[in-house]
Amino acid sequence: MEIYGKLCTEFYDLSKPEAPVDALEFYLRHFHDTDGPVLEPMCGTGRFLIPFLEKGIDIDGVDASSYMLQACLAHCEKKGLQPALYQQLLQELSLPRRYAYIFIPAGSFGLITDPKDATESLLRLYRHLSPGGKILIEIETTLAQPEAPGKWHEWRVTRLDGAELVFNALPMYDTKNHLQEDIHRYQLFANGHLIETEVERLSLRLYEPARFQKLLEDTGFTDIQATRAYEDTEIDGSEKVVIFRCRKM
């Protein structure tokens, strides 16, 4: 089953049209002490990337989903923006230039669940940083496991044409491997009739902060710091979301 397909992207775009204000301000703030181009891997529909572009920041975007990139490009075109967007898996990242600042918000790195792919992804990110460059990666910790595994949850959004998108999710959690395994079903209804259905299996790896820090160290990153989400304060072990920031020396 493909993830981030057409209906998934449409639901995501309607339910999360803009980045959370505190998150966006945090990632923008950390840009200001850098000097050079920016990369947002796993950029999705552009809810972080587009505000950077609107401020005149030189930023590129990468995503594995063609549907997500199409949505991002459509939003950019409406605003007269012309970003460089690439369709690539993070573990296969190969871009023509290097970056002073790379950030992966919203826990997206956890979508890379295979340990070898995660290790290779960090190595590719390291290679794409300029010397002295900074990277921020937001992860969900093992404390963020689903509260009601094995139960279906439902959300609905309405399109401008009146059609309704219904999203059902069945979360499961593998405690031993720290893997959240969800079944997602997207249904499009028009005038009360089911028009289209899309089903996907989405996996998300949750991390113990010490484990993720070790991965960063093994990759070669230095000056590694772990902070609470959208703050610059140290973690105390109670966080569901942690942001790691580090550099390539």
22 neighbors 44 (Cβ within 8 angstroms): no
pLDDT band at 3 (very low <50, low <70, confident <90, very high): confident
CA gap 173, 241 in Å, rounded: 17
Asked whether residue 117 is domain-assigned, the answer is yes
Do 26 and 77 lie in one domain? The reply is yes
Do 176 and 132 lie in one domain? The reply is no
CA gap 115, 102 in Å, rounded: 21
Residues 168-186 pLDDT 10s: 999 999 999 999 999 999 9
Asked whether residue 52 is domain-assigned, the answer is yes
Do 121 and 230 lie in one domain? The reply is yes
Q: What is the CATH number of the domain that holds 121?
A: 3.40.50.150
Number of domains in the chain: 2
Asked whether residue 185 is domain-assigned, the answer is yes
Please count the other Cβ atoms lying within 10 Å of the Cβ belonging to residue 42. Answer: 23
Do 43 and 99 lie in one domain? The reply is yes
pLDDT band at 4 (very low <50, low <70, confident <90, very high): confident
Which residues span the domain enclosing 41? 6-142+208-247
Mean pLDDT, range 91-119, rounded to an integer: 98
Residues 71-96 pLDDT 10s: 999 999 999 999 999 999 999 999 99
CA gap 203, 182 in Å, rounded: 6
Do 46 and 131 lie in one domain? The reply is yes
CA gap 50, 55 in Å, rounded: 9
What is the pTM assigned to this prediction?
A: 0.95
